[in-house]
Structure 1
C-alpha cells in the first residue's frame, strides 16, 4: 500500500470513529422520518376532510376556531393543504410550547389538537436535526458530523477501488459463506460502494440546510457563478399606514396569494411578526412538495404586496435550493424516491457499525500459534 493510501486509511478510520455515533443517529432517524406522511395518513383520520363546493374559510376564521378552544395561545401562521385535507393552525404559548390544531377549512371545526413536543415524528425530526440539543449547538454537531460523513464517503471510495482487475468481482459481491469478519468487511465495503453516490446527495442536501456557506455554494454553482440578490433579499418596510385595514391582515395576505397563485395546492400564510419587518408567505404548486413555490412579502401594517417572487422567474440556483428538502427526502421522485432514500439511510446507519467492527476485528485478531521446532533426538 502506498504512503498516500495509508494516510487516507488512517484518516478514514479516525474520522469514522469520531463521527460514527452522530452519523448512526442522523441516518436511522432519517430513515424513520422518510415515510412519516404515509404513516400519518394511515393512522391520523383527522388529516382528511370532505371537499366542499364552497371556498375555504380565511385564515383568521381558522385561527379563531383554534384560539376559542385553547385560550392563552397565539397563532403565527396557518397552512392550507390539498382540497381534501384539513388545514394546520400553528399555535404557541408564553413558555415556548408548540401546538397544532387540525381544522376543517370549509367549516372551521377543530378535528384534532396536538402538543408537538409529544408528537413522535416531531421528536424524530428534532433528533435528526439537533440531537435534542439546543438548536445552536445541535445544528453544529450534526452539521460537522455530516460533513465528516461526506469525507468518509470519498475516502471510502478511494480505499475500495480495486487495484487489480481480478479483484473487481470480489469488490462488488458479498461472500455470505465466509467467516463473520469477512461478511462484515464485505457489508461495509460493498454496500458502502453501491450507496455512496445517493448517500452523498442526501448528505450534501442536509449540509445545505445546516450551513449557509454550503447553501450559497450550491446556489452559485447552479447559476454558473452569477448571483441574483433580488430573489434572495426581503424588501424594506418604509411606508406607514394612514388608516386601519378593513380586514384582518392575514386574510388580506391570503386573498392576494389566492389571486396571485390560483392553482397552488398548499399555502403557508403567516401573520406579521413586527411593524418593521415584512410578513412572508409561500404558495406551493403541489401539496406536500416544497419545490415550485411562489413567495410573497407583505407590508406588516397595510397588507399591500411589497414583493412577489414567482417560481417561473427564479434562477436555476434558487429553484435548486427550493427543491433541496424534496431531494433530501427522496420525495421529489415520488414513492420510488422515498424507498431509495429509506434504504440508503438504513445502509448509511450500518456503515459506522460495520466499520467499527472491522477496526475491532483487526485489533483483536486471534494470533496464530507458531509451529514448534522438532527437538533434536539425543543419543543414549
Structure 2
C-alpha cells in the first residue's frame, strides 16, 4: 500500500471512530423519518377528509375553532396550513404552558378533528433526535454539523481506499462474498455497500448540512446562477412603520388567503405565517403539491392594511434559487416520489451500518495485531 493510501486510511479510521456514534444515530433516525407522512396517513385518520365541492372556510374561522379551548392564545401568533382537497387543515401554536399544539380541522366546515401535543409525538421526537440529538440547539448544531462534515470526508476517503489499482480486481470489489467467513462478509458489507451508497449518501449529508448552515448553500446557488443573483431573488421586504396605514376591515389572515389563492390558483398547499405585532411583514407561502416544499411562491404583506408588498413566484426564480428551494425534498428523497423516498431510506440504513461494520473491521485488525505480537514474543 502506498504512503498516500496509508495516510488516507489512518484519516478514515480516526475520523470514523470520532464521528461514528453521531452518524449512526442521525442516519437511523433519518431512515425512520423518511416515510413519516406515509405512516401517519395510515395511523392518523384525522389527517384526511372527504373531498367536497364547497370552498374552504377562511383561516380566521379555523383559528377561532382551534383556539376555542385555549383562551389567552393570540390568533396573530398561529400558523395556518391548508394541505389540499383530501387533507385536513392545521392550526399550530404555542399554548400558555409552552407546549407546541397542532389542531387538525376539516377545511370545508371548520370542525375540529383532533388536537396533538407535538412535544410527545413520536415523529417529532425522532426529528428532534435527528437534528439535535436532544441536546441544546446551540450545542447540537456543532456536534451534528461537525460529525456529518466528517462523514462527508469519510465517504470520499472511503472511495479512495476502496478503488482498486487493477481492472481484474474491480469485479470482486463490487460484490459481497456471502459464502466467506463472517469477518470477510462484514468487510464486504462495509466496503461494497459503502461504495454503492456513497453518491446518494453525499447528497443526503450535504443537503442536511445546508439546513444546519444555510450559508454553505450560498456559494452553490451563486455558482449555478453564474456568480450574480438577480435582484428579484433577494426577498427582504422593508416595512416603514412610521408611515401610517389604514387598518384592514377584515381579519388579516383572510385578506392574505384570498389574495394568494387568486395569484397561485393551482397550488394545493398554503402556509400562512403569524401576522405578528404589526411591526414586521406578514408572510405566506403556497406550494404546488401537498407535503412537497420545492415548487413554491412566496408573498409578503403589510401587517396592518394587508397590502401586498412583495412576491417571488417559482416560475421567475433563477436555477440556483430553485435548487435551494429543492433542498428539503432532496434530503428526504421525496423529490422523486415514493421511489426516491425508498432510495433515501435504504441509503440512510446503509449509512447507519457503516460505523458499525467499520468498527468491527478495526476491532478485528486490532486483535489480530495483538495476537501476532504475542506469538512473536512466545517465539
TM-score, structure 2 as length reference: 0.95
Contact 2:118–2:124 (CA under 8 A) maintained in structure 1 = yes
What is the CA distance between 1:199 and its match in structure 2?
A: 0.5
2:159 corresponds to = 157
2:43 corresponds to = 43
2:191 maps to 1:189:
yes
Q: Report which stretch shifted further, 126-135 or 218-227.
A: 218-227
Contact 1:140–1:210 (CA under 8 A) maintained in structure 2 = no
Whole-angstrom CA distance in 1 between matches of 2:209 and 2:245: 45
Q: Structure 1: which 5+ runs fail to align? A: 374-380
Q: For 1:231-282, what per-residue CA distance to the aligned partner results, in whole angstroms no more than 9, with x for missing partners?
A: 2332100164443311111111111111110111000012323433211110
1:281 corresponds to = 284
1:302 corresponds to = 305
What is the CA distance between 1:224 and its match in structure 2?
A: 2.4
Whole-angstrom CA distance in 1 between matches of 2:212 and 2:184: 37
2:251 corresponds to = 248
Q: For 1:325-364, what per-residue CA distance to the aligned partner results, in whole angstroms no more than 9, with x for missing partners?
A: 1111111111110110000000000000001111111001
Q: Which structure 1 residue ranges, 4+ long, deviate > 6 Å from structure 2?
A: none
Whole-angstrom CA distance in 2 between matches of 1:303 and 1:144: 43
What is the CA distance between 1:130 and its match in structure 2?
A: 1.0
Matched positions, count: 373
1:27 corresponds to = 27
TM-score, structure 1 as length reference: 0.94
2:17 maps to 1:17:
yes
RMSD of aligned residue pairs (Cα, Å): 1.7
Whole-angstrom CA distance in 1 between matches of 2:245 and 2:257: 22
Q: Structure 2: which 5+ runs fail to align? A: none
Whole-angstrom CA distance in 1 between matches of 2:172 and 2:53: 63
Contact 2:245–2:304 (CA under 8 A) maintained in structure 1 = no
What is the CA distance between 1:156 and its match in structure 2?
A: 0.3
1:102 corresponds to = 104
Q: Report which stretch shifted further, 70-79 or 154-163.
A: 70-79
What is the CA distance between 1:92 and its match in structure 2?
A: 0.7
Contact 1:241–1:302 (CA under 8 A) maintained in structure 2 = no
SS in 2 for 1:214: helix
SS in 2 for 1:25: helix
Q: For 1:136-179, what per-residue CA distance to the aligned partner results, in whole angstroms no more than 9, with x for missing partners?
A: 22122211111111100000000000112222122111111222
Q: Report which stretch shifted further, 171-180 or 319-328.
A: 171-180
What is the CA distance between 1:77 and its match in structure 2?
A: 1.1
Q: For 1:266-316, what per-residue CA distance to the aligned partner results, in whole angstroms no more than 9, with x for missing partners?
A: 000123234332111100011111011000011111111110101000010
